[in-house]
Amino acid sequence: MRRIVAQGTFDLLHLGHLQYLSDAKSMGDRLYVIVARSENVTHKAEPVVPDRQRRAMVAALDPVDEARLGDTDDFFVPIRDIDPDVIVLGHDQHHDEDRLAERLTAERIDCEIVRAPPREPEYDEEILSTGRIIDRICDRRC
């Protein structure tokens, strides 16, 4: 059985998230998704949706076999537990693939790292960014 890990914040789910998870699932038999805890999201604005709710929404998506929250102190706790064959990064995630590979080697986790392709919008109004969804809400409702 080929175990795949995808990870992210998954705040305000959109078609880009679904495409990423569908692409990740296509690379193996079982897709595990690690949902970042709000307190660990430091590279962008704090998520709007609470941790457990984001995890539940991701778990409900068809490509996902298991969704869990990340560890508050150690990024590698769920990775060690899952022992993936592949970690699939989103096309726009901030992770440095070489640095991640070094850390995985140091943790004695032998897995491939793949970057998922971006989703191309299928129509003019398709929004593939949580930030753009929030901007549109503010423009139309605030």
Q: Are 72 and 40 in contact (CB under 8 A)?
A: yes
Give all domains of the chain, ordered by start, each with its CATH number. Answer: 3-141 (3.40.50.620)
pTM here? 0.93
**Which long-range CB contacts under 8 A does 60-63 form with residues at least 24 apart?**
61/13, 61/18, 61/21, 63/18, 63/21, 63/22, 63/24, 63/25, 63/31
- Could you report the per-residue pLDDT of 86-125, keeping only the tens digit for each? 999 998 888 889 999 999 999 999 999 999 998 888 888 8
Which residues belong to the annotated binding site for ATP? 9-10, 14-17, 92
Question: For residue range 50-96, what is the model confidence (pLDDT) as tens digits?
Answer: 999 999 999 999 999 999 999 999 989 999 999 999 999 998 888 88
Q: Which residues are annotated as a binding site?
A: 9-10, 14-17, 92
